[in-house]
Structure 1
Amino acid sequence: MKATYHKYILNFKRPSGTSRGIMTEKETWFIILEQNGKKGIGECGILRTLSIDDRPDYEEKLQWICAHIHLGKDQLWDALIEFPSIQFGVEMAFQSLASETPFLLFPSDFTNGTKSIPINGLVWMGEESFMKQQIEEKLADGFRCIKLKIGAIDFDKELQLLRFIRQHFTPEEVEIRVDANGAFSENSALDKLNQLSEFKLHSIEQPIKKNNTDRMADLCKTTPFPIALDEELIGVFTVAEKEQLLQKIKPQYIILKPSFIGGFRGTQEWISLAEKHGIGWWITSALESNIGLNAIAQWTFLQHNSMPQGLGTGALYTNNFDCPLDVAEGQLWYKNDIDWEFDIDLFQAENL
């Protein structure tokens, strides 16, 4: 078996804002495996400043993987415990290589086009008019669950946006999730949660910064509506540490990004623990290209979670790879009449 790695820069169609700043491009890395005339591809979806494996030795670790690919998927996963995005890329590449075609990783009713995955419509931070425009577009597109990034503009304006939605749509008609990305201070968080509760929100992701576990536990105990942990899960590596975190904070939900938490195996560990402790969960992509998104979506369908998942990010980039994934009426579909516009051999040659 031979392995190579390749860097690729994804360009946003429009600068995209979070509470950590504005992004115009997103770096990603691909691992390509070759064996007996077949090829497989995996995506290492790192997000600079957020991924726990945003380290100076990241590319060095990719080189190490390619030199030690003979160790196999499981041994490599164990060796990559501090590099969850590479764990994910390696898992995906081995699954891709073993599959009938490189992009049909987990055959199901989803990949044969007969069933879909409900997803939330993502509304990015920005000027009030831009956020309002996005909300109207998502609702017109048939989304019945929307997720708003909050924490970057004036909080009163964000309340106005939520009031605008609720003036037109009841909680039964449109489910609203908000994601603060840790933007609230520990002192103001509960007051802001109480103000937000007026709008009958489904949940809020990560109201305060990670690693303030005592305060987060207090908030989860006193919150007027559910809290979901997101960044809090990043950098928690062992099953024992994961269980300890959940038992301490007792969140209502956790949000699982395979690129951030150790791929499919790491995600499955969190799911098993969440279900053991009566905690809800859903799966979200982390701005991967359509190659990583495709793998996450196929695997997610097999988890049989009926909640809207966070998998609608494929249209964010100008230079993504056309693929069978298609969003319609708030559902993610796999359209078998649409071909992948990605040639592994050509990509490899162009990116050596």
Structure 2
Amino acid sequence: MTADYKKYILKFKRPSGTSRGVLTEKETWFLKISDGNNFGIGECGILRSLSYDDRPDYEDKLKWVCENINMGREMLWEELREFPSIQFGVEMAFQSLSSQDPFLLFPSEFTAGKKAIPINGLIWMGDKAFMKRQISEKIEAGFNCIKLKIGAIDFETELELLKSIRSNFSEKEIELRVDANGAFSPQDALEKLEALSNFQLHSIEQPIKPGQIEEMADLCKKTPLPIALDEELIGVIDVTEKEKLIQIINPQYAIFKPSLIGGFKGTGEWKDICENNDVDWWITSALESNIGLNAIAQWTYTLNPDLPQGLGTGGLYTNNFESPLEVKMGEIQYNSSKDWEFNL
């Protein structure tokens, strides 16, 4: 078996804002493996400044994987616990290699085009007019679950946006989620959650920065609206520590991003722990190209999720790869009549 890798820079169609800054491009790495007859492709979707494996020896570890590819999927995954995005790329590449079609990793009614996955429409940060325009576009596009990134502009302006939505759409018509990306301080978080709770929100993601476990546990206990852990899960690689974190914080929800928490297997560990502790969950992509998004969406469908997922990021880039994935009426679908265009 042979393996090689290649870096690829995804270009945003327009700058996309989060509380951590504005994104204009996204670095990713593709791992290609071959057994001489067939090939498999995996995406190592690192997010600089957020991924646990954002470290100087990242490319060296990719070289090591290629040199040791014959160790196989399971052994490589264990050796890569400190490199969750490479774990995911390795899993994806081996799953792709073992499939009849390298892009059909988990055949199902989803990949047959018979079923779709409900998703949230993502509203990026920006000035009030920009965010308002995005909200109108998502509602017109048929989304009944909208997620707003908050925490970068004036909080009162963000409340006005939520009030504007709620004055036109009830919680039965539009489910609202917000994502603070850790923008609130522990001192003012509860007060802000109380203000946000006036708008019948489904949940808020990561209100305070990760690593403040006691403060987050206290917030989850007192919160007037459900809290979802997101960045809090990143970098927790030991199963015992994962269980301890969930039991201490006792959140209402957890959000799984396979590229950031160890791929299918790492996500599966978190999923089992959450379900054993009555914590509901959903899965979100993390700005991967359509290669990674395809693998995540196909796998997510096999889990029979009962909440809208966060899988609609494929249209953000000017140089993404043409794929069968389509977003229509608030759902991600697989158009099996469309072909892939993947050339590196």
**Alignment partners' CA distance in 2, 1:143 and 1:71:** 44
Map of 1:143 onto structure 2 = 143
Q: Aligned-pair distance for 1:341?
A: 1.0
1:227-275 deviation line (CA, Å, top 9, x unaligned)? 0000000000011000000000000000000000000000001110111
Map of 2:160 onto structure 1 = 160
1:268-291 deviation line (CA, Å, top 9, x unaligned)? 011101110000000000000000
Q: Which amino acid aligns with 1:335?
A: N
SS at match of 2:63: helix
1:170-228 deviation line (CA, Å, top 9, x unaligned)? 00000000000000011000000000000000000000000000000000000001000
Q: Aligned-pair distance for 1:36?
A: 2.6
Q: Please state if 1:314 is matched with 2:314.
A: yes
SS at match of 1:50: coil
Q: How does 1:221-240 map to 2 (within 5 A)?
A: 221-240=221-240
SS at match of 2:41: strand
SS at match of 2:22: strand
**Alignment partners' CA distance in 1, 2:51 and 2:316:** 20
Map of 2:72 onto structure 1 = 72
Q: Which amino acid aligns with 1:305?
A: P
Map of 1:273 onto structure 2 = 273
Q: Aligned-pair distance for 1:126?
A: 0.3
SS at match of 1:107: coil
Q: How does 1:210-221 map to 2 (within 5 A)?
A: 210-221=210-221
**Alignment partners' CA distance in 2, 1:26 and 1:168:** 35
Runs of 4+ in 1 over 6 A off after TM superposition: none
Map of 1:207 onto structure 2 = 207
**Alignment partners' CA distance in 1, 2:306 and 2:140:** 22
Map of 2:286 onto structure 1 = 286
Structure 1 gap segments, 5+ residues each: 348-352
SS at match of 2:274: helix
Q: How does 1:11-90 map to 2 (within 5 A)?
A: 11-90=11-90
**Alignment partners' CA distance in 1, 2:240 and 2:35:** 37
Q: Aligned-pair distance for 1:314?
A: 0.3
Q: How does 1:76-115 map to 2 (within 5 A)?
A: 76-115=76-115
**Alignment partners' CA distance in 1, 2:314 and 2:54:** 23
Q: Please state if 1:185 is matched with 2:153.
A: no
Map of 2:300 onto structure 1 = 300
**Alignment partners' CA distance in 2, 1:185 and 1:132:** 26
Q: Aligned-pair distance for 1:337?
A: 1.2
Q: Which amino acid aligns with 2:129?
A: S
TM-score (norm 2): 1.00
Alignment root-mean-square deviation, CA: 0.5
**Alignment partners' CA distance in 1, 2:337 and 2:37:** 26
**Alignment partners' CA distance in 2, 1:57 and 1:294:** 27
1:72-106 deviation line (CA, Å, top 9, x unaligned)? 00000000000000000000000001101110000
Q: Which amino acid aligns with 1:235?
A: G
**Alignment partners' CA distance in 2, 1:112 and 1:238:** 37
Map of 2:133 onto structure 1 = 133
**Alignment partners' CA distance in 2, 1:107 and 1:223:** 41
1:3-58 deviation line (CA, Å, top 9, x unaligned)? 00100000000000000000100000000001132111000000000000000000
Q: Which amino acid aligns with 1:82?
A: E
**Alignment partners' CA distance in 2, 1:235 and 1:12:** 27
Structure 2 gap segments, 5+ residues each: none
Map of 2:9 onto structure 1 = 9
Q: Aligned-pair distance for 1:338?
A: 1.1
Map of 2:194 onto structure 1 = 194
Q: Which amino acid aligns with 2:105?
A: L
Q: Which amino acid aligns with 1:150?
A: I
For these two proteins, the number of residue pairs brought into alignment is: 344
Q: Which amino acid aligns with 1:27?
A: E
**Alignment partners' CA distance in 2, 1:89 and 1:174:** 35
SS at match of 1:321: coil
**Alignment partners' CA distance in 2, 1:101 and 1:304:** 23
